[in-house]
Amino acid sequence: MTTTETDRPQTGDGTDGPDTHDHGFELTRRRRWPFVVGGAVVVAAAAAAIVVPRLGGAASPNEIAGATLYVATAEGNAREQALVEYVAEEIAPDYGITVAFKGLADSNTINRAVNDGEVAATVYQHELWLSQVLEANPGFEETAATPVFRWGFGLWSARWDSVEEIPDGATISLYSDPANEAQGLWVLERAGLITLDPSVDKWTATQDDIVENPKDLEFVLLDFGAQSRALPDLDGAVGYTEYYVAAKIPVEQQIFAPPAPDEFAGQLTVGTRWIDEPNIQSLIEAFQDPRVQEYLATDPEVQGVLLPLDAE
């Protein structure tokens, strides 16, 4: 098995949607499991450059009755924005709160804004990623309050119509961040293309944990936008549906897509210090409303990209 790690090209190919802002950040220690969700991040050393101001002694809107509660994701993440706006328009009024969407530049900005109470929550990260955000940023206090959706994530190919057609020696792309590389390996194992060491936690698995690779697959690591653009030159790639949709790649080229496991469910993440505030409790209840899951299952704006929690 040969592994090739490419340079990480910048996203932003001019298409609409999430390709202009990737899913996260990287830490300097490659195998400490930095997670990529929502834009490039540097760790605590970048705090001085954050564009969202600290609250200081001011009260957070989280504490003020009737205040607008902003739910943030990365700028350009159209499907997550649509979800937040649906909750704001159709559900939040039933819980006595006012909700609005806010797009922010990158992951570190979003998480600092949640920690500081500048925004009430974010919906773009899963629990495993959040744990690494907190490890990388001492002093951040955030809680994954409730799962909301699953991201579409699967094996794509412009050359082959099924997993069985993938040939010996095929080149398969995984994402270049460890978290999503691990999820990609999980998909390939589910597809029967590789076997991972059963003693290893699948959510921290690396290519070193592959114990069987019967087709002698070769792997190339690419960033989010770069992977979808490179698909014609690959035998396959494992990635998020949203990036392929944004790149206008036919969904028929997704040849295998098992439901994402619970560990990779998108969470409503809130600042821990405000979790008991009435505003935040009402916000959590709004995102737990059954209409959210119905919306994810039926609305064409998000269907197939953001999946309901019970997706099979």
pLDDT of residue 272: 97
pLDDT of residue 129: 81
Q: Over the stretch 154-200, which tens digit does the pLDDT of each residue have?
A: 999 999 999 999 999 999 999 998 888 988 999 999 999 999 999 99
Q: Over the stretch 248-260, which tens digit does the pLDDT of each residue have?
A: 999 999 999 998 7
Please give the share of the chain, as a percent, with pLDDT higher than 90: 63
Residue 44 has pLDDT above 70, yes or no: no
Average confidence (pLDDT) over 15-28: 38
Cβ neighbours of residue 148 under 8 Å, at least 6 residues apart? 83, 123, 265, 266, 267, 268, 287, 292, 309
pLDDT of residue 189: 97
Q: Which residue has the tokens 């994810």?
A: 296
C-alpha closest to that of 238 among 225, 252, 257: 257
Average confidence (pLDDT) over 16-39: 37
Mean pLDDT of the chain: 84
pLDDT of residue 1: 42
Q: Over the stretch 258-308, which tens digit does the pLDDT of each residue have?
A: 987 788 899 999 999 999 999 999 999 999 999 999 999 999 999 889 999
pLDDT confidence bin for 19, thresholds 50/70/90: very low
- Domains, the chain, ranges and CATH? 44-150+262-307 (3.40.190.10), 153-256 (3.40.190.10)
C-alpha closest to that of 43 among 129, 140, 133, 139: 133
Residue 14 has pLDDT above 70, yes or no: no
C-alpha closest to that of 103 among 126, 145, 71: 71
pLDDT of residue 259: 81
| Contact by Cβ (8 Å): 22, 234 | no
pLDDT of residue 73: 93
Q: Which residue has the tokens 């504490």?
A: 63
Q: Which residue has the tokens 């014609």?
A: 232
Q: Over the stretch 86-98, which tens digit does the pLDDT of each residue have?
A: 999 999 999 999 9
Q: Over the stretch 118-133, which tens digit does the pLDDT of each residue have?
A: 999 999 888 878 887 8
Average confidence (pLDDT) over 92-114: 95
Q: Which amino acid is at 89?
A: E
